């Protein structure tokens, strides 16, 4: 089947029905704007299953998504959307590029949840972008921006509670949104340990892609453990 698009972690194919795509999750892993490359064995299966479970959970909590159903271990069926070219990052504690940018230690709680935008552009390294610049560039409308912010914060509240019940703290994450043909904004892309920071409650152990980025070891084990807790339920 002809690929429509191949990204760093996923391949998109035409779906079996009009208006759908088939998304295949790969084991390939990249970091630091693809300067670091590798594979995480079984990651495609883990991320497909975690994303599917979280999309279902979010739909039940008032967040419309592109997810339709799982097709196989590594594939899901999604609705075709036009991706808004922004990475929407939500942060609860300082970490990663935010800690570096402002010269603060990682793990400091933020006084309020923060929604940050980056321009989706690999050649430029996904630069941070102001709301005003995104609007001036015509990347989205003011109404869409307000809706995306509202949905991002709703996702944060829902996922924080979901993971806390499973002994994990949601530190930060990246979302992407898309437009359905009628203009409705829906959550798209994936939600997985590739796109979130999850720290073990109590020990602060990293249970996400930072284990790969920072060569901490135990990468596969951490992904499997997150999957186990996501599908295994609370407790």
Q: Is 206 in the site for ligand 5GP (CB under 6 A)?
A: no
**CA 112 to chain CA centroid, nearest Å:** 20
Asked if 139 contacts 85 with a C-beta cutoff of 8 angstroms, the reply is: yes
One residue of 89, 151, 185, 188 binding ligand 5GP per CB under 6 A: 89
One residue of 75, 126, 144, 225 binding ligand 5GP per CB under 6 A: 126
- Cβ-based nearer residue to ligand 5GP, 51 or 195: 195
Q: Name the packing angle between helices 219-232 and 43-60 (round to 10°).
A: 30
Interaction mask 158-187, ligand 5GP, x per CB under 6 A: --------------xxx-------------
Query: Residue 55, Cβ neighbours under 10 Å: how many?
Result: 25
Q: Which residue is nearest to ligand 5GP (CB)?
A: 96
Q: Is 156 in the site for ligand 5GP (CB under 6 A)?
A: no
One residue of 97, 121, 141, 184 binding ligand 5GP per CB under 6 A: 97
Q: Is 225 in the site for ligand 5GP (CB under 6 A)?
A: no
Beta strand 185-188 pairing with 109-119: unpaired
One residue of 29, 78, 95, 188 binding ligand 5GP per CB under 6 A: 95
- Cβ-based nearer residue to ligand 5GP, 40 or 95: 95
Asked if 49 contacts 73 with a C-beta cutoff of 8 angstroms, the reply is: yes
C-alpha dihedral over 163, 167, 171, 177, to 10 degrees?
A: -20
Integer Cα distance of 97 and 114 in angstroms: 14
One residue of 209, 212, 219, 225 binding ligand 5GP per CB under 6 A: 209
What stretch of H or E contains 59?
helix 43-60
In terms of C-beta density within 10 A (0-12 exposed, 13-18 middle, 19 or more buried), how is residue 2 classed?
A: exposed
User: Contact positions toward ligand 5GP, by CB under 6 A?
Assistant: 87, 89, 95-98, 126, 172-174, 194-197, 209
């Amino acid at each position: 089947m002809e690929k429509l698009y191949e990204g760093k972690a996923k391949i998109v194919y035409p779906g079996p029905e009009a208006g759908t795509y088939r998304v295949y999750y790969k084991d390939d892993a990249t970091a630091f704007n693809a300067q670091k490359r590798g594979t995480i064995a079984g990651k495609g299966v883990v991320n497909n299953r975690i994303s599917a479970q979280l999309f279902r959970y979010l739909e039940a909590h008032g967040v419309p998504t592109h997810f339709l159903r799982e097709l196989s271990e590594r594939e899901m069926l999604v609705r075709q959307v036009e991706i808004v070219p922004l990475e929407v990052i939500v942060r609860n504690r300082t970490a990663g590029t935010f800690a570096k940018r402002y010269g603060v230690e990682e793990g400091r709680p933020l006084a309020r949840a923060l929604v940050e935008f980056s321009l989706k552009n690999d050649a430029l390294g996904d630069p941070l972008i102001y709301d005003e610049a995104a609007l001036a560039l015509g990347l989205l409308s003011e109404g869409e921006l307000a809706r995306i912010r509202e949905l991002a914060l709703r996702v944060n509240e829902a996922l924080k509670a979901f993971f806390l019940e499973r002994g994990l703290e949601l530190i930060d994450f990246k979302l992407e949104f898309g437009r359905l043909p009628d203009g409705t904004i829906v959550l798209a892309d994936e939600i997985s340990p590739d796109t979130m920071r999850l720290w073990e409650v109590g020990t602060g152990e990293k249970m996400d892609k930072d284990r790969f980025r920072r060569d901490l070891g135990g990468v596969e084990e951490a992904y499997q453990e997150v999957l186990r807790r996501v599908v295994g339920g609370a407790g």
